[in-house]
Every structure is written in structure tokens, then in C-alpha cells.
Amino acid sequence: MSTGSGSARPRVAILTDETGWHTARLRRALARRGFEGRCADLADCRFDTSRTGTGIVIPGFGRELPVAAIVRGIAGGSLEQITKRLGILHGLRELGVPVYNDARAIERSVDKSMTSFLLHGAGIPTPAAWALESEAQARRLVMAETAAGRCLVLKPLFGSQGKGLQQVGLVDGRAVPLPDLAPLGGLAYLQRFVSQPEGPGAPGFDWRVLVVGGRAVAAMKRVSGHWVRNVAQGARCIPAALTPPVAALAQGAAAALGMDYAGVDLVPDPAAPGGAQVLEVNGVAAWRGLQSVTDLDIAQAMVDDLLQRRLGLDLTAAACAG
């Protein structure tokens, strides 16, 4: 694999639809290790097999390939556009370029039903979940769960930032039926709701745990009076110690999805083994909120993991030589 010529620093592609705080942190972390981080939008990357060469063109890299790619953001688009963007990530892997996270891992985590399936299979405590195309079946399920006194969360399959979540079933003692599925692409992804004893003086919380290279490295609590506790929905980030059971659950979840790094969302549940359930796993996780409550340089931890584990770099030797 070509890594650029002369004395130029080897270049890592930061694949993102948005440059800003996260990309600046990654570029700085890479520069500290002698690499150049160069941003490119996956929407602008293309397949081109008209000439000899790799068949993939990444703007800013000329005819060369990056030594590695970090996936920081994939913009929404049509099924065709997303297929091509993920195809570029698959293609880079086929060409021997380490992609952080790999396209397969990103696909598993972006699809919430696949996440539920894999967590379930790995024996990680996670709420029961269903993915149904039949509206009649979904209605019957919601009716049965309502009769059993349970609440469900209906989520967009590819959702993020707490957008579009709805409670159905028995919600605060009231039966809430399934809404029209057309705005959800004709798919009902439903997950049993994990309730917390909350009140005005005691808001509920989630844990967000960051796993890097198989190890849980930082955690926070997201506290909110609303049951959707995303930072984007106004939840407050507060520092949290990484307890061994929660760390083990997060690490198990990241491993079940084959993630290099992952932002794992958990909710407390005293009845579950480990005292929590994993709600979802983020394979293109933002970390600005978590960085605000931890001393660990998160971008550096990710970059160092990529360089050491995926590129085989000996950072202790590099530090000595540098």
C-alpha cells in the first residue's frame, strides 16, 4: 500500500460530512504521532474503475490511498447513496486499508434490530425487541404487551440523537396504540421500555460508556427529567465512575458487534445481571459530551488504538525515537 512519497507524513482519511470540534481533535491526535489527518466527505468519494489503480478515489488523496480511515460521520441520503458510501468503506477494507470502525460493524450498529439480535445472541442483557413489517402483527404485539402491563419504545430503525422515539403500549397507565408506520419506512422496531423510579427530585439516567480497543475507557451519566436521555435532547452529562459490571457489559456489547470503538448506551436495571441493560451501540459515536466530564483525551485514545492495534505501530518506540 502506498503511504505517500518523500518525507510527507503518512495520511489518515477522516471521513466526515462535517468538520469541526471532533475532526480537529482527531487531526491533533494524529499529528502528535506523526500522521496527517485529512478530512473527506464520503459523499464525495467515488468508485472509478476507468483507469488502472485502486478503483476508489478519495478527494485530497490523489491517486493514493490513506494508510487508514477513521469514520467520523456519514450523512443521510437515499438508499443508493448510503449503499455507495458504505461500499467505499467496504472497498477500502478489501484494499487492505484499516477502517475504524469497519463498515460491517457500522452496518450492524446503525441497524438497531441487528444490534438487538447480536446482543441477544451474545447473552448481553438487552430489552426484548421486535422488527416487524406487518402492521397487523405489530398491532397485535402492542395489544398483547399492553394487556401484560408493559410499555414499548417504537424507534426509527436507523435513528440517532433520540429523534423520533415514541412510547406505545401501556404508558403511564394509558393504552397507547401503534401509530401509522409509513413515517418509519413501514417498519416497526419495538423495544421493551426499561422504567426507572424517577420523580421531580430524582431524574432518571443512562450510562454512556466508551469502549476503545475492547476496553471500557470512560463513562458518564446522562441525566434528564425526560425518558429520552440524549445530550441532543437536553440531558446533562455528569461524570461517572466505571464500575466493573457496567464496564464488562459495555465491552461485551462492543465485542458482540465487532467494534474497534463504540459508544454504548445502558440503562440501570437492578433485575438484570450486571445491574444494567444495553439499549444500543453507536459505531460512529460522538464524544464531545463525554470529553467534557473526563480527563482522558478520547481522540488520542482512539487514534493510539488505531495506530497500535490496526496498523501495528509501536508507540512506545515511536515516542522514544521522536
For ligand ADP, which residue has the nearest CB?
229
* Alpha-carbon span 311 to 307, nearest angstrom: 5
Residues 6+ apart with CB under 8 A from 297: 25, 29
Residue 296: which of ligand ADP, Mg ion, none does it interact with, CB under 5 to 8 A by kind? none
84, 89, 95, 101 alpha-carbon torsion, rounded to 10°: -170
Closest CA to 220 of 20, 29, 230: 230
Confirm or reject binding of residue 228 to ligand ADP (CB under 6 A): yes
Among 102, 265, 304, 305, interactor with Mg ion by CB under 5 A: 265
114-133 residues in contact with ligand ADP (CB under 6 A) are 127
Nearer to Mg ion, 115 or 146 (CB): 115
Residues in 26-45 that interact with ligand ADP by CB under 6 A: none
Subset of 195-214 contacting Mg ion (CB under 5 A): none
Query: Is residue 153 a contact residue for ligand ADP (CB under 6 A)?
Result: yes
Read off the DSSP letter of residue 310.
I
Q: Which of 196, 160, 142, 123 is nearest to 280 (CA)?
A: 160
Cα separations in angstroms, 246 against 95, 201, 210, 266, 267? 37, 25, 11, 8, 10
If the CB atoms of residues 63 and 174 are measured against ligand ADP, the closer one turns out to be: 174
Question: Among the candidate windows 4-12, 65-73, 173-181, 190-198, which touches ligand ADP by CB under 6 A?
Answer: 190-198
As measured in angstroms, the least distance from the Cβ of 100 to ligand ADP is 20
194, 210, 217, 219: residue in contact with ligand ADP (rule CB under 6 A): 194
Residue 10 is a binding residue for ligand ADP (CB under 6 A): no
Judged by CB under 6 A, the stretch of 37-45, 75-83, 153-161, 300-308 that binds ligand ADP is 153-161
Q: Are 89 and 283 in contact (CB under 8 A)?
A: no
Nearest-angstrom CA–CA distance, 251 and 201? 32
Question: Residues 7, 35: contact at Cβ < 8 Å?
Answer: no
**Chain residues 288-307 in contact with ligand ADP, contact rule CB under 6 A:** none
Cβ-based burial of 80 (10 A; exposed 0-12, middle 13-18, buried ≥19): exposed
Q: How far is the CB of 278 from Mg ion (least distance, A)?
A: 11
The residue type found at 221 is: K
* Binding site residues, Mg ion, CB under 5 A: 265, 280
* Binding site residues, ligand ADP, CB under 6 A: 127, 153, 155, 159-163, 165, 191-194, 206, 227-230, 265, 267, 279-280
